[in-house]
A = this chain, B = another copy of it.
Amino acid sequence: MEILIANDDGYQAKGLEVLASIMEELGHVTIVAPNGGRSGQSNAVTMGAPMRLKQIAHTDKRDTYVSDGTPTDCVKLGLEVLCKNHKPDIVVAGINHGSNASVNVIYSGTMGIVFTACEQGVPAIGFSLDDHRQEADFSYFAKYIKEIVLLLKDEKASICWNVNAPIGQLKGYRFTRQCRAHWAEDVVSTADPQGNPIYWLAGYLNNDEPEAADTDLYAMQEGYISICPSSIDTTEHNALNKLNGKI
């Protein structure tokens, strides 16, 4: 297998090394990672400015590159420059330090990588652990990664896989849907040393359907890995059918 890996926590992130080490067992790995943290970058792309791409390491099993672009830029550079003549069999993103379940999916640089790969017709899976800390313990999750990749790799390439694990011991995995939730109290007003107002994003994710047992947040709360099949087709088809008088 030819495997392309990108992430949004940057080339030095522990989660990236964990994922790359596992994927090396399945084939040759090309990594394109940002030169620093790019959390919350969603599907942002660099427009009207050039980007760099530099190889920083090479072994028989792995070639590692860094870029000053966004996570989405990284996967585009990987697909269009490095793998132009040998399209990868799969793109994997992560392992992200922090959950990308529920509505986090739309803000996630990790899932931005997956959505872009899907747009380009390449099967893609995003892996995220619900622990933002640099030193997060990926060991429980790591045991399942290879199995999940082998399970999903031959599914339709139009499915964007969003795989999230809670911390600690795991009971297995469940297929889930994206939970309805929203960020609450997510802007904090403080002041700079001169007394001028400044604003920070903060807050917490509020689960809007905590009782629903088929969601990603519920599965994780119960100690399962959540595997949510996502899509880049944002159309609300039920609403569209209604609007067009079909139902």
Residues of B within 8 A of A47 (CB): 39-40, 201
Instruction: Verify B50–A46 contact, CB threshold 8 A.
Output: no
> Which residues on B sit within 8 Å (CB–CB) of A243?
175, 227, 229
Asked if A121 is at the interface (CB within 8 A of a chain B CB), the reply is: yes
Chain A residues 172 to 210 lying within 8 A of chain B, measured CB to CB, are 175-178, 180, 182-183, 185-187, 189-190, 192, 196-201
Instruction: Count the copies.
Output: 2
The residues of B that contact A178 with a CB separation of less than 8 Å are: 233-235
- B230, A199: Cβ atoms under 8 Å? no
Q: Are A51 and B198 in contact (CB under 8 A)?
A: yes
> B230 contacts A103, CB within 8 Å?
no
| A42, B39: Cβ atoms closer than 8 Å | no
Q: How far is the CB of A69 from chain B (nearest CB, A)?
A: 8
A245 to B83, CA, bound (A): 36
Chain A contact-residue range equals 35 or more
Enumerate 20 A-B pairs (CB-CB under 8 Å) in ascending A order. Answer: A37-B48, A41-B42, A43-B106, A43-B107, A45-B107, A49-B200, A53-B199, A73-B201, A81-B189, A106-B234, A120-B183, A156-B239, A158-B236, A160-B236, A175-B243, A177-B235, A180-B233, A229-B235, A230-B235, A231-B235
Instruction: List residues of A whose CB falls within 8 A of some B CB.
Output: 37, 39-53, 70, 72-73, 76-77, 80-81, 103, 105-107, 112, 115-116, 119-121, 155-156, 158-160, 162, 175-178, 180, 182-183, 185-187, 189-190, 192, 196-201, 227-237, 239-240, 243-244
